[in-house]
């Protein structure tokens, strides 16, 4: 993953190949669930709406 210091070989492989369309539901869920922390994050603001 481009925007993290954490590397999970299984998850990162899938996320690296995912398109914006693929990631939209995940981003929507996470932004609602963790909106206080996520939507104010600098990387989130710079990358939104481009998730991949």
The predicted model gives 30-44 an average pLDDT of: 70
- 31-12-21 Cα angle (round to 5): 50
* DSSP reduced 3-state for 32: helix
The predicted model gives 3-29 an average pLDDT of: 80
Rounded Cα–Cα distance for residues 22 and 19 (Å): 5
The predicted model gives 3-30 an average pLDDT of: 80
pLDDT at 4 over 60: no
Rounded Cα–Cα distance for residues 18 and 33 (Å): 21
The ranges assigned to domains in the chain are: 19-52
The predicted model gives 27-46 an average pLDDT of: 73
C-alpha distances (whole Å) from 7 to each of 1, 15, 17, 26, 34 are: 7, 11, 15, 18, 21
46 pLDDT band, cuts 50/70/90, is confident
Predicted TM-score (pTM) of this structure: 0.49
In the numeric block, which tokens belong to residue 20?
């914006």
């Amino acid at each position: 993953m481009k925007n993290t210091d954490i590397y999970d070989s299984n998850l990162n492989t899938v996320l690296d190949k995912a398109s914006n369309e693929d990631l939209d539901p995940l981003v929507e869920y996470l932004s609602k669930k963790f909106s206080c922390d996520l939507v104010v994050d600098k990387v989130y603001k710079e990358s939104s709406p481009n998730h991949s």
